[in-house]
Amino acid sequence: MKKWNFYTTNEIKPAGWMKRQLELQAHSLSGNLDKVWPDVRDSAWIGGNAEGWERVPYWLDGFIPLAYLLEDQDMIARAKKYIDAIIAAQKEDGWICPCDPEKIAEYDTWAVQLITKVLTVYYECSGDSRIPSVLYKALKNYYDLLSNGTIKLFDWGKARWYEAFIALNFLHERYEEDWIQKLAHILKEQGTDYSEKAGLWERPLNKWTYDTHIVNLTMMLKAEAVSHDLLHEEYTDKAEMFRTILDRYNGTPVDLFTGDECLSGLSPIQGTELCSVAEQMYSYELLYAYTGDTKWAERLETIAFNALPATISDDMWAHQYVQQSNQISCQRFPGKSLFRTNGPEAHIFGLEPNFGCCTANFNQAWPKFLLSTFMYTEDSIINVVPIPSHLEADGVSISLETEYPFKNTFVYTIRSQKDFDFRIRIPSFAENVKVDGALTDKAEYLHFAVQKGEEKQIHLSFETKPFFMERPHNLKTVKCGSLVFSLPIAYEKVMLEYERDGVERKFPYCDYEYVGKSDWNYGYADNTLQVVERPVAEIPFSSENPPIVIQTKAAKIPWELEDGYETVCAKTPVSAVAIGETQDVTLYPYGCAKLRMTEMPMIEKK
């Protein structure tokens, strides 16, 4: 099994629409949480009295690479302020979390696993020479406490034991000490064995459990990949087995699994938590790096280009806690929540709808996605995800100009001071692949031998064809390449400014209800699908100016509201027989359609 290595934020830089996306993120909620949100601004991690567990580490996990990718000196300094405070507060014995010593046994050490992962990210971005020693002390202390029985894994730490391996693998490369492997084994022994839990995923339970919690499960997909080396275990691709079960019983059209918060079945009106979107992307990035299996990169694209932008407002100041495939309005439920284990406002756009974990955690998704653009081994460089970017590392310069996934043309400009094998991953859905205008044989990878001193350009293109993808309940979804398409629903944004539990919602970091204003009860009238490319706007996944659309035909059908709800469509229509004339309709990319119908039937003939 060939392991690919990640480049750092000093070596990969964003370009084109990807740079605009990261700048948008930096200028909005992600880049300002330490100014406006008490759980970051006043956190116990920096000596304050607010939350001292997962939220600052979650935020730093995305804020740090975002700052360094954009070379934003103010953001870099603000990140360092937090890291300096965390290091300064580390105890002599290595304990690193803001918890009274006498309460350590009660403290869920998921925070230890998370902050050590974040410190690893910080080192990779900054090269700060203090970090290896800080990590050594923190994880050696963790080993001592676990091995002598002072603490044990429970709750989140038990469910997420594998997260500690990001930092453990980092240490193992630098220190040849037995306790590192011993800690790895303790974590696995005390952690959840998800092989024993898969039977719980086959039907929704309508109760909250760690074993069906969607974020735990999307994190868990990478567990074998990140832990097997240190545990001296053979890699068996458990992730594929787990994903197959999750998808069969809880899959969505955008490669997510429903989880609001726990697994919720195949209904298109159940939700998926935003934290799980970010974590599933991260799992797939690591799964590709550890295995080189192209299926993970292709699935990664689908989530990144659809699910991620769909659940965040255009200006990135607001986000949902959960997104739905068929989402006709995002308004607070006045009575019982539709969601199995979430409250009545989980689907509105805002500062921290339902819970604040996603407020902090969604920040990692775009920066880490960019860092998966190029990977390397000793003699090879691979373009894993073809988004606009620039690589400058070890005597090699590669610039990639493209508007993918909106357009399928790519220009690679390569300058090199060494010989290397350059590979480009070609998606399975690509057709009529051309290199420098000439048709080439379809393959998982294109290989190019680059010589020392050479300067070359590679012009690549391929075609993608839209098609109807089968969905449960006799519904269909339109897909083209990595993009999923939905019927967009016009809406009015209702701004909500208020204060609750000491947290102020004030423009621009306020809440919004998206009130649906257009008809949604349609079925597809025929198989006609016509792709229309448009310019990519300043906001790449714009809900007003989508960069690509599909023209098709639809007709209204009898489709009622879900019983007991005024703002939710029923799971399925009454029938697929048309009750209106055939109309021309325009489908938007799922990521651009904040309100949408994604799963609809084909019209049945009378």
Amino acid at 532: V
Vertex 139 angle, CA 134 and 140, to 5°? 100
* Residues facing residue 484 across a β-bridge: 479
Q: How far apart are CA 363 and CA 267, in angstroms?
A: 28
E strand spans, 76-179: none
Q: Is residue 213 included in any domain, yes or no?
A: no
Q: Is residue 542 included in any domain, yes or no?
A: yes
Classified as helix, coil or strand, 395 is coil
**CA-based nearest residue to 51, from 99, 5, 120:** 99
What pLDDT is stored for residue 97 in this prediction?
A: 97
What pLDDT is stored for residue 100 in this prediction?
A: 87
What pLDDT is stored for residue 605 in this prediction?
A: 81
Query: What is the DSSP secondary structure assignment for residue 127, as one 8-state letter?
Result: -
- Find the Cα–Cα–Cα–Cα dihedral 36, 303, 440, 446, rounded to 10°: 70
What pLDDT is stored for residue 2 in this prediction?
A: 65
Burial track 455-479 (b if 16+ CB lie within 10 A, e otherwise): eeebebbbebebebeebeeebbbbb
Distance separating the N- and C-terminal Cα atoms of the chain: 55
Q: How far apart are CA 31 and CA 316, in angstroms?
A: 10
Query: What is the DSSP secondary structure assignment for residue 326, as one 8-state letter?
Result: S
Q: What is the mean pLDDT of residues 138-158?
A: 98
Strand 455-463 to strand 445-450: parallel, antiparallel, or no bridges (unpaired)? unpaired
pLDDT tens, position by position, 252-267 = 999 999 999 999 999 9
DSSP string for residues in 510-529: -EEEEEE-S---EEE-SS--
What pLDDT is stored for residue 203 in this prediction?
A: 95
Q: What is the mean pLDDT of residues 288-298?
A: 97
Q: For a pLDDT cut of 70, what percent of the chain falls above it?
A: 100
Q: Are 72 and 84 in contact (CB under 8 A)?
A: no
What Cα–Cα distance (Å) separates residue 316 from each residue in 25, 29, 527?
6, 6, 35
Q: How far apart are CA 384 and CA 426, in angstroms?
A: 9
The residue range of the domain holding 546 is 467-597
Q: How far apart are CA 156 and CA 147, in angstroms?
A: 19
**CA-based nearest residue to 394, from 14, 4, 2, 12:** 12
pLDDT tens, position by position, 349-384 = 999 999 999 999 999 999 999 999 999 999 999 999
Q: How far apart are CA 94 and CA 580, in angstroms?
A: 69
Is 142 a residue whose pLDDT tops 90? yes
pLDDT tens, position by position, 473-497 = 999 999 999 999 999 999 999 999 9
The values of phi and psi at residue 186, to 5°, are: -60, -45
Q: Are 418 and 395 in contact (CB under 8 A)?
A: yes
Is 606 a residue whose pLDDT tops 80? no
Q: How far apart are CA 458 and CA 115, in angstroms?
A: 41
Q: Is residue 481 included in any domain, yes or no?
A: yes
What pLDDT is stored for residue 568 in this prediction?
A: 98
Q: Report the predicted TM-score, pTM, of the whole model to 2 decimal places.
A: 0.98
Torsion sign across C-alpha atoms 513, 519, 522, 524 = negative
Q: What is the mean pLDDT of residues 155-178?
A: 97
Q: Is residue 472 included in any domain, yes or no?
A: yes
pLDDT tens, position by position, 219-254 = 999 999 999 999 999 999 999 999 999 999 999 999
Confidence of residue 101 (pLDDT cuts 50, 70, 90): confident
pLDDT tens, position by position, 192-206 = 999 999 999 999 999
Confidence of residue 67 (pLDDT cuts 50, 70, 90): very high
Residue position matching structure tokens 């870099």: 76
pLDDT tens, position by position, 300-341 = 999 999 999 999 999 999 999 999 999 999 999 999 999 999
How many Cβ atoms sit within 10 Å of the Cβ of residue 181?
15
pLDDT tens, position by position, 525-534 = 999 999 999 9
Q: Is residue 580 included in any domain, yes or no?
A: yes
Vertex 416 angle, CA 412 and 421, to 5°? 75
Is 81 a residue whose pLDDT tops 70? yes
Is 1 a residue whose pLDDT tops 70? no
Q: What is the mean pLDDT of residues 108-122?
A: 98
Residues 6 or more apart in contact with residue 435 via CB below 8 angstroms: 446, 458, 459, 460
The values of phi and psi at residue 263, to 5°, are: -50, 135
Least confident of 95-104, 344-353, 540-549: 95-104
Q: Is residue 525 included in any domain, yes or no?
A: yes
Q: Is residue 299 included in any domain, yes or no?
A: no
Q: Is residue 398 included in any domain, yes or no?
A: no
What pLDDT is stored for residue 442 in this prediction?
A: 87
Q: How far apart are CA 451 and CA 572, in angstroms?
A: 58
Q: Are 125 and 8 in contact (CB under 8 A)?
A: yes
pLDDT tens, position by position, 15-66 = 999 999 999 999 999 999 999 999 999 999 999 999 999 999 999 999 999 9
What pLDDT is stored for residue 102 in this prediction?
A: 87
Please give the tally of structural domains in the chain: 1
